[in-house]
Amino acid sequence: MSPTNLPGVGLPSRQRLTLTERIVFGLYAAVFCLWVFDINAADTALVTPINGRFLGGVTWLGAFLGVMLGWFVVRYSTRTRAEASFRRKVIMASLVLVTFGTFYAVIFDHVAWRAANMRAFADSSSPITWAHFPIVSYRMRKSQPVVLIDRQGEERPIPISLADYQLLEATAHSSRYCLNLQRQQVGSAVRVFRPSGAAPNVIPVEACVPS
C-alpha cells in the first residue's frame, strides 16, 4: 500500500490546493453561483440595445478572467499529472483555457446587461404598461423554457411558463404568436417584466398590437 493511501496520511503536497488557489477558486465559484441565482431570480430584462463598447469591454474582461481561472486549473492539473506527455498537456491546457474563457465571457455578458438595466432604471418611477413583442423563436435553456423576442433588431431571451412553451411546441410556429409582457420605459431604454405564469402570456399574432 502506498504511504499516501495509509489512514491519516494526506495527499502529497503537489496535489494539494495552495491557499491562493483556494481563494481564487472560491471567488470564481461565488461569481458562478451569483450568475445562476440572478438568471433565476431576476424579474426584469432590458430589451433595448446597450452601449456596444461597454458590452464588449465587460465581455472581454470576463473572457480574460476565465482564461486566468483556466490557467490556475492547468497549473494545478500539471502538478497532479506530472507524468502526462507534453503534447497531452498542451491540448488539455488549450481546451481548458478556451472553455473557461468562453464560459466567463457569457457570464460577464449577462453582468453587462444587468448593470445597464439597473443603471437605466435606478430611480425610475415611470408607469408600467402592457405591450406585445413578436416571438422570434423558443427553446429550453437549462430546463427553463424561454422565447426570443425581437426588439429594435436585438433578440432577447425571456423566460415563459411551461404551459406557454407547450402551446408553442404544439403548433411549432412561433411566428404565429407574440408575447404579452409588462414593460417600463425611461428615455430610449425599455425593460420587460418576467411573466408570472398565472395567466397565458403567449397570444395569437392576430391579437397583437405592435409595441
Q: Which of 37-51, 54-68, 83-97, 130-144 has the highest mean pLDDT?
A: 54-68
Look at residue 108 in the predicted model and tell me its pLDDT: 96
Look at residue 175 in the predicted model and tell me its pLDDT: 67
Give the largest CA-CA distance in the chain. Answer: 75
Where along the chain do the CATH 2.40.50 domains lie?
128-207
What would the grid cell of residue 159 be?
Answer: 423566460
Look at residue 174 in the predicted model and tell me its pLDDT: 62
Model's pTM, two decimal places?
0.77
- The answer on pLDDT for 13 being more than 50 is no
Counting residues of the chain whose pLDDT is more than 90, the rounded percentage is 29
The second-level CATH assignment, the architecture, of 128-207 is Beta Barrel (2.40)
Look at residue 9 in the predicted model and tell me its pLDDT: 45
Per residue, what are the HEC states of the chain? CCHHHCCCCCCCHHHCCCHHHHHHHHHHHHHHHHHHHHHHHCCEEECCCCCHHHHHHHHHHHHHHHHHHHHHHHHHHHHHCCCCCHHHHHHHHHHHHHHHHHHHHHHHHHHHHHHHHHHHCCCCCCCEEEEEEEEEEEEEECCEEEEEEEECCEEEEEECCHHHHHHHHHHCCHHHEEEEEEEEEECCEEEEECCCCCCCCEEEHHHCCEC
